[in-house]
Amino acid sequence: MSSKEEVIQVWRTADAVCFDVDSTVCIDEGLDKLADFCGVGEQVKALTNKAMGGSTTFREALKQRLNIFKPTQETLKKFVAANPPQLTPGLSDVVRMLQERGTKVYLVSGGLRAIIEPVAKVLNIPFENIFANRLQFFYDGEYAGFDKSQPTSESGGKPRVVAHLKSVHNFKNVVMIGDGVTDMEACPPADAFIGFGGNVVREKVKNGAK
């Protein structure tokens, strides 16, 4: 059986499918859009590409990007209200098909939970099925950093999430879908990785995907 045939077989029998969000479920990068909203889009986008291309650690890139503009609680709230999710065409149909056949769907992202929750709501994915980063704020709403206890805040976090899901739910076949190196790193423990290039193609992922 070829690698492609193996992946197709795992997809057909998957207990769970984990989707990356930015540039996979959605057509854009949420953190980049938030940076645009704050007037520093180009600076942050350059660091995003470094992180997704695997040329710097994810946590360091996340820290650097957020430190450029330090979003306040109020800014984040206004951004979410003004920017409804822009889903990749056809994605909602895929999620619905998976849900109808009884496959659990998870959103596993290095992005921000506050931006991803509206995505989950549109796709009828329970909030407890979101693994993403949480911003921290001081009592006055000013930016205080991000929650480093979240596994997706660092490189290697997505494999940890998949391993956790398999352990807790006894899943036998888990598929990871995404556009970035951090998604590809999740297989193993995921049983198959599908590289998604519908919005952006990253050469390292293209070359490494089955």
- What is the DSSP secondary-structure string of 102-157? T-EEEEEEEEEHHHHHHHHHHTT--GGGEEEE-EEE-TTS-EEEE-TTSGGGSTTH
Handedness of CA 90, 96, 101, 102 (dihedral sign): positive
- Collect all residues with Cβ–Cβ distance below 8 Å to 135 and sequence separation of at least 6: 66, 71, 73, 76, 112, 114, 143, 145, 146, 147
Indicate the DSSP class of residue 209.
Answer: -
- 147 classed as catalytic: no
Q: Can 15 be counted among the known catalytic residues?
A: no
Calpha distance 66→34 (Å, rounded): 10
- Which one from 22, 36, 179, 191 is the annotated catalytic residue? 22
Which of 20, 32, 36, 183 does the annotation list as catalytic? 20
Q: Which residues are catalytic?
A: 20, 22
